[in-house]
Chain A
């Protein structure tokens, strides 16, 4: 006696149909709108569903702005990449020591520390940005503290088109999501491997550099991808902490074109280009995840 063979496909079917209808079909809709035209009178997009009739003018508009030097999209794409790389590097520098301490050295503070590390997961991202808006106002506590310490002589307009504020926001917003996977990994490292290194004469620092750090490479990669992907699509962090075109990212352009009205196909084409760019990252992540899942089995 065992489960009937039809049971497992039948259980999977509703969710798979859901994903097909609300995840796969929408992707095709983006492509159809990007390759479609705009109604000349109402300015609404007219998607082209048949690939034979596709109109590539939205894509050539995007590629023009992307590949002519100093083009509008090129500046924004490069800026996005720079912001994400800097924010990611800072996040790694913060997350690794914290995750390492929590997983291996926290002792009886472990649970309390974990509550603190998990807490941001349950605090809305937008609320955490709002908290920084409060602090970074001209009469806010950041300026007060810096004035008191004589680091500055007059209040700084932190919320007025500063790259540093946007990057701070990105790091603050996404670093918790990097700490947790790193913690989960470091917590599982086999103690015996580290003891072996010590028995063979490695000091604590050498053990860390030659054993722990190389072992954590896959977790560092996966964690970086996990937070880099949402950073690439972020538009609310720059909107909230800067609100100036000087710090606008790809996400801002997509939001502008897609919801601003007249050139929706351009917005759809930008979504396609961003997706292509991220596909490399996504494939790297999925391969790593599949490998980990196989090891689990």
Chain B
């Protein structure tokens, strides 16, 4: 019997190899794209020495010196920063309100918030473009319009992440605080929000990643090359651009994203530890069901 159980527990070789092959297929092309960004020569399809020429060395064509590439990087970062600043507070408030609210409006409100999640980006992008051009004309295309788009598609993700945490927290902490004489707003601020802080940090990571990754909404609502983001720049240069500077731009964005995510992740893990939670934080992130 024990032998049979051990056999069942053994790692299946074929499945293991398949998974390793998948990981290689999934990650090696990106690593190669990063490798080519450090080329000394102009090729984007083979390795040619090592240099930082396409990052800042080249006086005309490098990311730092080509105004189009540089402005794309800053536009992406600017949008992601503003999107976090607006979408996280709005989404946290929405998650609290919609989860606790027992009124007749709560259910349709929930449905409305979730439906942004399943709306394809091209539908959302064209709808926003048409409304900004034809009706809400006070909102100019470019950064403001793009920001509105990023916040709109981020809200549902913040809602999901924060609500997932909220339903797992019992009411007893809040009841204890109120029994001890805390006002309701004080309870909200000093009990509920700290309990939610891991989810709030996680949702900020998610919004940052979504905003940096977004292509369609940024492209549709761009007001010209000055407000193009990194993905939009990649889209317009990928088939034409003859140098690895585009790879350098993409790699730089990748490093920044991974750096920011790693940092936020460290904070998140620290917050979870302090809250006395155990287990892998990566596992929890993977289980968020985005």
Cα A275 to Cα B120 in complex, Å, equals 9
The answer to whether the Cβ of B6 comes within 8 Å of any Cβ in the partner chain is no
Known: A4-B184, A12-B101, A114-B286. 12 other contacts (CB 8 A): A1-B184, A12-B97, A19-B152, A20-B112, A47-B135, A101-B12, A119-B27, A130-B238, A131-B33, A180-B289, A230-B120, A254-B122
Chain B interface residues toward A at CB < 8 A: 8, 11-12, 15-16, 18-19, 22-23, 25-27, 29-30, 32-33, 36, 43-46, 90-91, 93-94, 96-98, 100-101, 103, 105-106, 109, 111-116, 118-124, 126-131, 134-136, 148-149, 151-152, 155, 159, 167, 178-179, 184, 187-188, 209, 212-213, 215-216, 220, 230-231, 234-235, 238-239, 246-247, 250-251, 253-254, 257-258, 261, 280, 282-283, 285-290
9 A-B pairs, CB-CB below 8 angstroms?
A1-B179, A18-B151, A23-B116, A111-B280, A120-B27, A129-B234, A137-B45, A230-B120, A240-B238
Assess A25 versus B23: contact at CB under 8 Å? Given A111-B283, A240-B238, A259-B220: no
Assess A251 versus B134: contact at CB under 8 Å? Given A8-B96, A114-B280, A116-B23: no
Residue-wise, chain A 221-250 has the 8 Å CB interface mask toward B (1 for contact) of: 000011001101111100110010000000
A271 to chain B, nearest CB (A): 5
Cα A23 to Cα B15 in complex, Å, equals 43
Q: Are B250 and A135 in contact (CB under 8 A)?
A: no
Cα A12 to Cα B162 in complex, Å, equals 14
**B-chain residues with CB within 8 Å of residue A282 when the two chains form the complex:** 115, 118-119
**B-chain residues with CB within 8 Å of residue A4 when the two chains form the complex:** 184
B277 to chain A, nearest CB (A): 15
Assess A127 versus B286: contact at CB under 8 Å? Given A33-B130, A135-B32, A282-B115: no
**A-chain residues with CB within 8 Å of residue B105 when the two chains form the complex:** 9
The answer to whether the Cβ of A216 comes within 8 Å of any Cβ in the partner chain is no
Chain A: interface residue total (CB-CB under 8 A): 112
Cα A218 to Cα B93 in complex, Å, equals 30
Which of B12, B128, B286 is packed against the most chain A CB atoms within 10 Å? Answer: B286
Cα A92 to Cα B183 in complex, Å, equals 51
The answer to whether the Cβ of A209 comes within 8 Å of any Cβ in the partner chain is no
**B-chain residues with CB within 8 Å of residue A118 when the two chains form the complex:** 282, 285-286
Q: Are B127 and A29 in contact (CB under 8 A)?
A: yes
Q: Are B30 and A131 in contact (CB under 8 A)?
A: yes
Cα A20 to Cα B122 in complex, Å, equals 19
Cα A120 to Cα B239 in complex, Å, equals 22
B132 to chain A, nearest CB (A): 8
**A-chain residues with CB within 8 Å of residue B18 when the two chains form the complex:** 97-98, 101
**A-chain residues with CB within 8 Å of residue B119 when the two chains form the complex:** 23, 229, 282
Assess A124 versus B213: contact at CB under 8 Å? Given A180-B290, A254-B126: yes
Interface residues of A in 164-221 (CB under 8 A from B): 172, 175-177, 180-181, 183-184, 187-188, 198, 204
Stretch touching chain B among A60-68, A71-79, A102-110? A102-110
**B-chain residues with CB within 8 Å of residue A130 when the two chains form the complex:** 33, 234, 238, 246-247, 250
